[in-house]
Amino acid sequence: MFLIKAIAIWFVMVLAAMANGIFREKIVTVYLGQSVALPASGILLSVFILIIVYNAIDYIVPKKASIFLTLGVFWVSLTLMFEYGFGYFVLGAEISQINQVFNVSSGNLFVWVVVVTLLSPLLIAYLKGYIGNDR
């Protein structure tokens, strides 16, 4: 059941990421340019992920730090497999092109999104009191 819940929550994150990307390309980039749109999109997606995790973390059991860390690692693994798999097999992009999403100097904050994805289960679990010194 843990695996199904973890994948379902991650799928919601993917939908949020796709909506965020469409919003960035169709609206923000048009009006503010790529140099503003790319970092703003990374920050917005990070906020979306935190909101999704905040609302979904209650359904994850058992409530142990190791479980929440494992969840973050699992989500990052799925994210990277999706990013590279979709880019390479569906879009036909070269790996070197896909690697550019990690280029912070271009304004892309995907690295930050990956870190937020990794740590958000642990952070939100701590903030909600599921883990911590008193447990």
Position 108: which residue type?
Answer: N
112 pLDDT band, cuts 50/70/90, is: very high
Decide: helix, strand or coil at residue 63: coil
Does residue 114 have a pLDDT over 90? yes
The pLDDT of 67-88, averaged and rounded, is 98
Chain-centre distance for alpha carbon 34: 20
What was the pLDDT predicted at 88? Answer: 98
What was the pLDDT predicted at 79? Answer: 98
pTM of the full structure = 0.94
In angstroms, the CA 49 to CA 133 distance is 25
What was the pLDDT predicted at 77? Answer: 99
What was the pLDDT predicted at 134? Answer: 62
